[in-house]
Structure 1
Amino acid sequence: MRDYYNVKINIPGGIVSPGTLHDILSMAYEAKVRKVRFGARQQLLMTVHYEDMRFLEQDLKKKGISYELNTERYPNIISSYCAEEVFRTGQWLSESEYHTVLDGFDYQPQLKINLSDSNQSFTPFFTGNLNFIASPVPHFWYLYVRPKQSNTVFRWRELIYTNDISRLARSVEEAMLSEGHRGEESLHWAVSSQRKFITQPATGEVELPDFTLPYYEGFNRYGQRTWLGLYRRNEQFSISFLLDVCALCLKTRIGEICITPWKSLIIKGIEEKDRTQWSKVLGRHNINVRHAANELAWQTEDHNSEGTELKNYVVRHFDKDDTRTFGLCFGVQTRSKSEVFGSVLVRKRPLLQIGQLSLFSVYDIYYTENFNPNSRTYYLFEKGLLKIHVPAQLERLCHKFSARRYMENREVVRFNEEDTVVPAASPAVYGHQCSHCLTIYDERYGDVLNDIPAGVSFGQLPDSYTCPTCDAPKTHMQLVELGSEVEEIG
């Protein structure tokens, strides 16, 4: 029987240059590694046979690349950089601002650090111990602290200046881990008495957006360029494919590859003239980029295939029953001390355990307050389920969420009895919706990105027409009712 090492390489902020990634993957390939994964904290993960590990270690040390074996002492700094430009634009936080913060870290943090734009919901806000969130004041950040092994979150009383984030994070880490300060007052006093930082008073709580998970796979246009999202159902990427990706990035002058908390990759800045080359790379390695949105909305534990298998088991039932999951994301927890991000949490627990041996396991289902995955409060929905019953109960919870959303959003109109008017029925309006990213073609407006003027019916579109968002073919767009057309009377 052969022994294995779980190797973790941190990618700060989830940002890596194609050249650096190419070097790491080439060294891994020489160590007989053929597939790698990406972690929930935007790391590069791989499993290496023990007899090959010494050669990989020598190569990594020569290149000055830090790594961990079977440990989690240094959690990665994660950021919402991967969402910048493609899922949100505007405000003061830019890609260069992220680099300024990350370049300030000249040490490896032992605390989990999150850097987040407050106007996105693609990456989690509060899964770290130190959660920096961009404030409305340019170049200043909120800080929300969650001490290790605690579910309590408190807001730092000042906003922190961009250039001081790394210094303050180091001071908080020293006060928390070396000096034992954990309470809000004690921790703030310990840090503020040692160093001076550029700050502003934090007069209110951060305002976070409602959670929506964008469709993050496939080719998608933004401005005059395209970004490509890459997801694998088994969460494993072949090294040969990734080496081709890195090579094409270098050839077409793409300077960065982004790792997301959803264990996927995002490549920004693809020029239209290079689209064909990217399609050829996907075709050469038989890479599918047409997964359903409900399959993308899952987060599982690192170095653990059990959660992935449960996810795939549930998704098959969702597809069979055509279950609506829009607005939700799901986390699968099979280890007691692991942490996953989700508005719905499926937690495995042993029903009978002798020492380290679990003889029989069941599943509990929880949901977060207001179904917001950034909430730290969980409510029990069902307890002690066998695996076979998990999909049906998750479907029931999805129906509960959809019904609640409908009740919150419906418009209430009140009439006086004598003034009640029954309007004549207006004709329904129909459009065609992409089954992958949910983009709708409405003939009243046409399609600006594909140069289709208003008034062109869906049937008049050429067979070569594709979705303007994800490039799905015309045959993947289904007829949907958009509502009633209301005639305005002047």
Structure 2
Amino acid sequence: MAKHIHTLPINFTGGIVSPGYLLELLKTAAAAQATQVRFGLRQQLLIDIPDKNLAAFKSSCAAQQLRIADSPNIMSSYAAAGIFIQDSWLSEGIYKDVFNLFDYTPALKINICDSRQTFVPLFTGHINWISSASVHYWHLYIRLPDSQQLYAWPELIYTNNIAAVSKSVEQHINAGTTPETIYTLVKKENNYITRPLDKEPDLPAFHLPYYEGFNKHENSYWLGIYRRDEDFPLAFLKEVCAICLETRIGQLYATPWKSLIIKNIDPAHRKLWDYVLGKYGINVRHAANELNWQVEDNCEDGLILKRHVIRYFDTADVRTYGLCFSVRVNKPASLFGTVVIRKQENKHGSKLKYMQRYDILHTAGYNANSAQLVIYRESVSKEHLGPYIVALCKTFYEQHSEVNVLQHYVKEQQSLATAATPVRRIHQCPDCFTVYDDTVGDAGQQVAAGTLFQDLPASYCCSVCAAPLSTFNEIPEGVLQPDTTTAF
């Protein structure tokens, strides 16, 4: 990007912003000659301001209390609540309560996520809070800066203590303390409510929900907007805010996929959204294999690589469901992804693009939440990235098809059906195969219906051949001898 342009981040805590606040921000950016804005990986807004207007923009922001960020945004799965997560104790109100507890500006990355969703990355922060099965209690995972190793806090922590514990943990991380020692010190210095850690969180297998377009939810719609080049026209977003204000939509949601979600759209107002999408030519139906990418913020080279591989995907008609792709061009970052394209360091100092090489890696077991990377191919040219990544996708599906899921399902259903049907035991004469049926009894021998076999008198005998009671055999009803006769 040209040096005379300054990219300024505006944090939206948890990824939520009111349309009124966003509209004021967009007007201020427009006055500074900005024409496009972008959303970042941590649900923040990125604005490019020309150098000549930078001072005026900062002054206007300060006057209107529009804070330009100098620290990472608090990231959350708030955007997924209600549309991708159902029946969770972690409601939108609880998210807001947690955000309001932060009386300081975190200098480290903090993630606050529902354990039941796969829309927002769980472990890309330095301080990662993940909801537990116990209402209002959280798992905590610490990841030191420039490290991929996670430290699991040995106990669950109560909702109201998240901010205070985060602040204390951050102070000790910044002091260079080891995670084990951080736990000891935080435990000693803070009085917070805990619960024993019974088990690790049961995290679902990764699948990225389709987060674009108009989607029905209960009695309303939600709209997801994604931009291939990441740029949102400023004039378009201003009209989005105007519609929200006019139709009383109180919040917009930025996502870690650099997209925007608008919830609670009344069906009667859909025509307004169709109008503004059409006016600015906004496409809201991209291919799924384009939506599951994580590219570093402000990285045009990463976007070029992404587009290059996607074109190959389209040609080869490749399935990518269950996978997520991460492009790492600059300094290694904690990006989310099962497949990683990593630019190699330029050891020879060549500025020729065709000399650039990349490594292809995947997470251990193709687990999107794993920090362990496995090398698949090294020193791959840009032209060969597509074929190799397609081959890796095929390997992923082959490994997941080694177990015959259909055969296993059929056997499981048969087993359940067998277990659900109790086997009836009956009693049969060994000589003539006559069956005593306790639901009928034996009127000829004055035995009333409903009399169990064990309640028959000792004098009872077969009603056909007079075989004594003691000779009758108890067998499952399904294995009756042929030519049976019921005693009556």
Q: Same fold judged by TM-score > 0.5?
A: yes
**2:4 is aligned with what amino acid?**
D
Task: State the distance in 2 between where 1:323 and 1:358 align.
Answer: 27
Report the 3-state secondary structure (helix = DSSP H, G, I; strand = E; otherwise coil) of the residue aligned with 1:28. helix
Tell me the equivalent position of 2:375. 380
Deviations 1:230-260 (A, max 9, x none): 0001011000000000110010100000000
- Between Structure 1 and Structure 2, which shows a larger proportion of helix residues? 2
Match of 2:184 in 1: 189
Q: Partner of 2:222 in structure 1?
A: 227
Measured in 2, the distance between the counterparts of 1:181 and 1:74 equals: 21
Aligned partner of 2:212 in structure 1 is 217
Q: Which runs of 4+ in 1 moved over 3 A?
A: 353-360
User: Counterpart of 2:246 in structure 1: which amino acid?
Assistant: K
Residue aligning to 1:473: none
Alpha-carbon spacing, 1:163–1:357, altered in 2? closer, same or farther (3 Å): farther
Provide Cα deviations, 1:416-454, integer angstroms capped at 9, x if missing partner.
xxxxxxxxxxxxxxxxxxxxxxxxxxxxxxxxxxxxxxx
User: Aligned-pair distance for 1:329?
Assistant: 0.9
Contact 1:130 1:144 (C-alpha < 8 Å) held by counterparts: yes
TM-score, normalised via structure 1 length: 0.81
Q: Which amino acid aligns with 1:225?
A: S
In structure 1, distance between residues paired with 2:308 and 2:272: 35
Q: Of the candidates 83, 95, 117, which is equivalent to residue 120 of structure 1?
A: 117
Report the Cα offset of residue 175 of structure 1: 1.6
CA contact (8 A) 2:151 2:179 kept: no
- Which of 107, 126, 133 aligns to 2:130? It is 133
TM-score (norm 2): 0.81
Q: Distance in 2 between matches of 1:364 and 1:176?
A: 31
- Alpha-carbon shift at residue 305 of structure 1 (Å): 1.0
The 3-state SS of whatever aligns with 2:157 is: strand
Which of 387, 393, 402 is the matching residue for 1:398?
Answer: 393
Residue 165 of structure 1 is matched in structure 2 by 162
Where do 1:63-462 residues align within 5 Å?
63-68=64-69, 74-177=71-174, 179-184=175-180, 186-354=181-349, 360-412=355-407
- Mind listing any 5+ residue stretches in structure 2 that lack a counterpart? 409-488
Cα distance in 2 for residues equivalent to 1:338 and 1:372: 18
| Alignment partners' CA distance in 2, 1:339 and 1:191 | 25
Task: Assess if the C-alpha contact under 8 Å between 1:333 and 1:339 holds in 2.
Answer: no
Report the count of equivalent residues: 409
Q: Residues 201 and 358 (structure 1 numbering): CA distance in 2 closer, same or farther, change over 3 Å?
A: farther
2:354 and 2:382 in contact (8 A); partners too: no
> Residue 52 in 1 paired to residue 53 in 2?
yes
Deviation of residue 176 (structure 1)? 1.6
What whole-Å deviation, never above 9, does each CA across 1:16-63 have from its counterpart, x for those lacking one? Answer: 000011111110010000001100000100211111111110111112
Give the drift of 1:355: 11
Q: State the alpha-carbon separation in 1 of the partners of residues 403 and 396 from structure 2.
A: 11
Tell whether the 8 Å contact from 1:352 to 1:361 is kept in structure 2 after alignment: no
> What is the deviation of 1:339?
3.0
The residue number in structure 2 matching 1:37 is 38
Residue aligning to 1:474: none
Query: How much is the aligned-residue C-alpha RMSD, in angstroms?
Result: 1.9
**1:21 equivalent in alignment to 2:31:** no
Greater Rg over alpha carbons, structure: 2
State the one-letter code of the partner of 2:176: G
Structure 2: which amino acid aligns with 1:47? D
**Change in 2 beyond 3 A, CA 1:89/1:264:** same
- Displacement, 1:313? 1.1
Q: 1:355 to 1:290 in 2, by over 3 A?
A: closer
- The structure-2 alpha-carbon separation of the partners of 1:156 and 1:272, relative to structure 1 and needing over 3 Å to count, comes to same
- Cα deviation, 1:187-212, whole Å, max 9, x if unaligned, reads 01111111201111212111100101
Cα deviation, 1:133-187, whole Å, max 9, x if unaligned, reads 000111111101111222211111121111110111001111221x331231x10
